[in-house]
Homo-oligomer: A and B are copies of this chain.
Amino acid sequence: MQKNNRQFILRQRPEGIPTTDDVVLEESPMPEPGEGEILVRNHYFSLDPAIRGWMDDTPSYLPPIALGDPVRSTTLGTVVASRHPSFAEGDHVTGLMGWSEYSCAPGDYAGKIPVQSEFPPHYFLNILGAVGMTAYFGILDAADPAPGKTLLMSAAAGAVGSVGGQIAKSRGCRVVGLAGSDEKCAWICSELGFDTAINYRTCGPLTQAIADACPEGVDIFFDNVGGETLDAALLNLNSGARIVFCGSISTYNSPNPVPGPYNWWQVLARSVTIQGFLVSNYVERFPEGIEGMSALLRSGEVKFREDIVDGFENTLSAFHKLFDGSNQGKLILRLDHELD
């Protein structure tokens, strides 16, 4: 075992996109697991927009990442030492660890994934992990999809949006996607089966573009973006429509407090139901979700794309791809090829 560990440490709270002054690659001694803890050698990091929120010192569903701690991230790794009765050396685990080569954490923070499966291990960091489960329960439990309903998906080429849209299609919805390039729009329509897509960068006024793409109005808005996108969607909702509030990536890097939608009144005027969605409320139902998602993968009803960046040193620069539009599909950092 090597003597030192390397970690991306949060040294100061970012304003906007996190820089190498905010998040610093540092060496530290290899940790020793205490009672109830496990030491994990990480093979993959899941790079998700939510991580940006955890870097801020504002109240949220998890405490902020403490200054001096490694950046929190879902990881996939191998147990190399265990002082927890449920884990043994060689187990494959996912959990909320950090941007570290080795993570030492309470075993209760981690979950075992099958060493043998019809799917590669890193699927459990993605389509069969929190990201896939967000799409699965976000659509099937929170969005109330049904044949004939029009569902509008923001960040439709993103990891959650691209999968969620396909699940809504499988339930008979008409699905319209918002994405930031013609290539992404073409992908979600021709490869994933979205009914139509709007390139929000080139479509002109977004409210009108949504109206044109949704001539019968929007029954379900699944929102990963917030801000102006949410405001435009609100003006196209049918009475009794539903919003699943799953994320707000357009606002995560703002240095100033960002208010809620300017068209807030439409929530009352159109009798809208908004559901704030957190996948952590569904952890106990993950086995059901993994089974359901596996079936959708086998049947070909759900396809997905991965954007895998190699090399631990590249973690922070890879993370930036989430915010500059260059990322397509689930963004993953691969530390090594051991589980390929």
Number of copies: 2
Which segment of A7-15, A192-200, A253-261 sits at the interface? Answer: A253-261
Query: Do B269 and A278 touch (CB < 8 A)?
Result: yes
Query: Do A269 and B235 touch (CB < 8 A)?
Result: no
> Which residues of A are interface residues toward B (Cβ below 8 A)?
53, 58-61, 226, 235, 239-240, 245-248, 251, 257-278, 281
CB contacts (< 8 Å) of A239 on chain B: these are 61, 281
The listed residue with most B CB atoms (<10 A of its CB), out of A53, A226, A273, is A273
Q: Which one of B59, B273, B277 lies within 8 Å of A275 (CB-CB)?
A: B273
Q: Which one of B59, B247, B261, B262 lies within 8 Å of A266 (CB-CB)?
A: B59
Complex alpha-carbon distance, A60 and B269, angstroms: 5
Query: Do A235 and B274 touch (CB < 8 A)?
Result: no
Main DSSP-derived SS at the A contact region: loop
Query: Do B276 and A272 touch (CB < 8 A)?
Result: yes
* 13 additional A-B residue pairs with CB within 8 Å, beyond A59-B266, A239-B281, A268-B277: A59-B269, A60-B265, A248-B268, A259-B260, A259-B262, A259-B264, A260-B260, A261-B264, A267-B276, A269-B278, A272-B274, A272-B276, A273-B273
Q: Which one of B53, B235, B262, B278 lies within 8 Å of A271 (CB-CB)?
A: B278
Complex alpha-carbon distance, A278 and B240, angstroms: 10
